[in-house]
Amino acid sequence: EVQLVESGGGLVQPGGSLRLSCAASGFTFSNYDMHWVRQATGKGLEWVSGIGTAGDTYYPGSVKGRFTISRENAKNSLYLQMNSLRAGDTAVYYCARLGYTAMGPNGMDVWGQGTTVTVSS
Amino acid sequence: DIQMTQSPSSLSASVGDRVTITCQASQDISNYLNWYQQKPGKAPKLLIYDASNLETGVPSRFSGSGSGTDFTFTISSLQPEDIATYYCQQYDNLLPTFGQGTRLEIK
Distances (CA, A) of B7 to A26, B69, B70, B95: 37, 14, 11, 22
pLDDT, position B93: 76
Helix (H, G, I), strand (E, B) or coil at A39: strand
Give the model confidence (pLDDT) of B62-101 as tens digits.
999 999 999 999 999 999 999 999 999 998 878 999 999 9
Average pLDDT per block of 10 residues along chain A, 121 residues long: 97 98 98 97 97 96 97 98 98 96 89 98 95
pLDDT, position A101: 84
Q: Specify the pairing of strand B45-49 against strand B19-25.
A: unpaired
| A5 CB-near residues (< 8 Å, 6+ apart) | A22, A23, A25, A112, A113
Q: Identify the contact set of chain A against chain B, taking CB-CB distances under 8 A.
A: 35, 37, 44-47, 50, 58, 60-61, 94, 96, 99, 101, 103, 105-109, 111-114
d(CA B85, CA B40): 8
d(CA B52, CA B34): 8
pLDDT, position B102: 98
B48 — pLDDT class (breaks 50, 70, 90)? very high
